[in-house]
Structure 1
Amino acid sequence: MPFIETGIPDLLVFEPTVFEDSRGFFFEAYNQKMFNGAGVENVFIQDNQSRSTYGVIRGLHYQTPPFAQAKLVRALTGTILDVAVDIRKGSPTFGKTFSVELSADNKKQLMIPAGFAHGFSVLSEIAEVMYKCDQFYSKASEQGIIYNDPSLNIDWKIPMEKAIVSDKDQVLPVFANCVNPFEYKG
Structure 2
Amino acid sequence: MKALIPLDHLSEDELLRRQRGARTADERDRWFAIRTLTQQPHTSRILLTQQLGRARSWLTRVIKLYNEQGPEAIEDRRKGRAGQPPILNAAQRAALDERLQSPPEDGGEWTARKVAAWMEGQTGRRVDPTTARLYLHRLGYSRQKGQPVYPQAASREGPQGQQKKSGRWVKSSHSRTRTNESDPGARTKRGAARKTSSAKAG
Query: TM-score, length-normalised on structure 2?
Result: 0.24
Name whichever structure is richer in strand by fraction. Answer: 1
Higher relative contact order structure (alpha carbons within 8 Å, sequence separation ≥ 6): 1
Q: Whose radius of gyration is greater, 1 or 2?
A: 2
Query: TM-score, length-normalised on structure 1?
Result: 0.25
